[in-house]
Amino acid sequence: MAGRSTSRARSDAARPSWSGFRRPGRPRRFTGTRPAPPLQPCAAAPPRATSRHLAPSHRLRGTVLTAPRTATAVYPRSVQPLPAPFDRLAAGLPAEIHVAGSELLNRRLLTKDMAFPLDERTAFGLHGLLPDRVFSIEEQLDLEHEHIRVKTDALEQYIGLAALQDRNATLFYRLLAEHMEEYLPIVYTPTVGRACQEFSHIVRRTRGIWLTPADRDRIPDVLRAAPYEDVRLIVVTDNERILGLGDQGAGGMAIPIGKLALYTAACGIHPVVTLPVSLDVGTDNQALLADPLYLGFRAPRLRGAAYDAFVEAFVQGVHEVWPGCLVQFEDFKQHNALRILDRYRGRIPCFNDDIQGTAAVVVAGVLAAMRHLGTGWADQRIVLAGAGAAGTGIARLLRLAMIADGIAETTARDAISLIDSQGLVHEGRTGLDPDKQSLAMPVEVARDAGLTLATNGRGPEPGLLDVVTALRPTILIGTTGHGGTFSEPIVRAMAAGTDRPIVLPLSNPTSISEAVPADVIEWSDGRALVATGSPFPPVSRAGRTWEIGQANNVFIFPGIGLGAIVAESRAVTDEMFLMAAETLAEHVTAARLESGALYPTVSALRVVSRAIAVRVAAEAIRAGLSPLPHDTDVEALVDGAMWWPAYAPYRRAAVPDAPSEAAG
């Protein structure tokens, strides 16, 4: 079929396959007879990585790294294989299956649909339940690819892919892995935003765990209802800041579902050990509350101490049921995202992709651009428009990258300017929250640049155009959530101050991107290097074509997660994200940079994710955050944990003992 991925040329037998983690050990789920160690009560938030914590002895590839943060709760456990029968199936080995007939056909992680061979049709009583033709998985892929491509609306394609995931998970993940460039914008941004908005009207089958305030005192019991017992990765959202769309209530569950699909397709984390979770604490979206078909918790959003207690109960519950499980916080609003991350990052292995993943992918783009231009951190002046969770996270990691490169802390501080809805963030402003205070520009630096600051809170603060004109930045980054923020006067002012401006309008979906790449290239007379948070087509101007690289977190979080899981890291540190950024930048080819793109093609995602996972796992072991010995073969460990979706041979088990429904 036209459009078939060339990756098919490589046989299934040659694919890297999840063969299970290497060493046997005790079960992860704890029962009432052997309770999990108590999670330590919240202490003061562990310090973020800053120059005050630099340890010159920690180096990797010539980069100075910060000293590892010590987690306050330590729960080493042995590396585990996948639960049966998936341990053998994922390795391509014959496995005994305890269900048969229509029940087997309806198990989404076990079914092969029309690819069951004749001997298995006989053994499992499938004759008559399937058409006569036996398909290969390649033929199934062609058929499903055709089913999706004939749908002209992106949301309908999303619904079609979700239906395939519900019916045959192996085929879904294989299709996504082989056609990532085509389907990434469908299963994730920008189409997933529409799916969140329409969730109550398009959902066909629920998945994951939904927790409401009514569940606060029974969260461990609710978690134990998950389809599989050995959960190692949770993506959880409270649904309040879904992409740039705000509070989407229960519809935000599409985000954890989509992220976990990418974990599997991008780096082979088997879906049997993953779980999407919605903290459905209500919604302040009046349109949802008025919708008679809204399927979420119909109440105003929980806030304050009650909200904090609910999140604490969730974290305690996860620790009780799956101690050591990696938790990815997703799409929490800024006022909760930062403090939740700081509260729990020293107690459980966790990270916030909106803060840390976004920061890493931005640093990677800047590193790639500097390599292309032959410049370094000392040459950069950076303006960040948008001081929410993503913006402040980017600023912190940029500062850490500069300091790690040997730049003095004060110089790194002065090189980064932050703009919020009030204007320039500077030390003379009152009422700044602690996260902005740590990034505020000194008053004397602003005035030396010719900026006029408000006096005693009176008068306007310098706006984005003022700051760009005065500071002449080399890099302009947008996380505002407002389309058109990078106007023609702003881009032209930037282009007047630097030969090769680096412009990163990161807000997504596409409708709220700070600028359209074609405009940025036109207004800079073709001199700008542009990358965006949402996908954009190539730009043609004056006989030249620019590829627009997408600063997509999918280049970062799968490798971070896989590396942390295989190493059983007790924490996910800032150093790991800086390493991930460096690794991603190294995978941008010279040809991509010449074409204008600052990121690899999505087709390289699995290779990039593997490389990041290897570095993250190695860092966890080096930093003493992993129970694994220092002589662990990390590459073999990572390779053994990367499942490639394929069918394996089945044998009929002698005694029926049906496992629980597949999670897929």
Q: Is 259 a catalytic residue?
A: yes
Q: How many Å separate Cα 267 from the centre of its chain?
A: 12
Catalytic position from the list 173, 183, 188, 307: 188
pLDDT in tens, 39-52: 665 443 344 443 33
Average pLDDT for 399-408: 97
The pLDDT value given to residue 455: 76
Q: Where are the alpha helices (DSSP H) in 118-277?
A: 118-123, 137-149, 154-167, 169-178, 180-187, 191-197, 199-202, 219-223, 254-267
pLDDT in tens, 178-218: 999 999 999 998 899 999 999 999 998 989 999 999 999 99
Average pLDDT for 284-313: 97
Q: Does the pLDDT value for residue 377 go beyond 70?
A: yes
Rg of the chain (C-alpha set) = 25
pLDDT in tens, 101-132: 999 999 999 999 999 999 999 999 999 999 99
* Cα(253)–Cα(382) distance, integer angstroms: 35
Average pLDDT for 460-475: 97
The pLDDT value given to residue 534: 86
Domains of the chain and CATH, by start = 138-348 (3.40.50.10380), 356-554 (3.40.50.720)
- Per-residue CA distances from 198 to 187, 209, 291, 321, 579 (Å): 14, 19, 11, 32, 37
Coil, helix or strand at residue 638: helix
- Per-residue CA distances from 61 to 391, 404, 613 (Å): 27, 11, 16
* Cα(437)–Cα(518) distance, integer angstroms: 35
**Residue 385: exposure state from Cβ atoms within 10 A (0-12, 13-18, ≥19):** buried
* Cα(412)–Cα(381) distance, integer angstroms: 9
Q: Does the pLDDT value for residue 234 go beyond 80?
A: yes
Q: Does the pLDDT value for residue 169 go beyond 70?
A: yes
510: pLDDT confidence band, cut at 50, 70 and 90?
Answer: confident
pTM for the model stands at 0.88
> Both tokens of residue 592?
């991509």
Q: Are 64 and 406 in contact (CB under 8 A)?
A: yes
Of all residues in the chain, the percent with pLDDT exceeding 90 is 81
Q: What does the mean pLDDT of the chain come to?
A: 88
Catalytic position from the list 259, 263, 333, 599: 259
Q: Is 188 a catalytic residue?
A: yes
- 263: number of Cβ within 10 Å: 26
pLDDT in tens, 516-543: 999 999 999 999 999 999 889 999 999 9
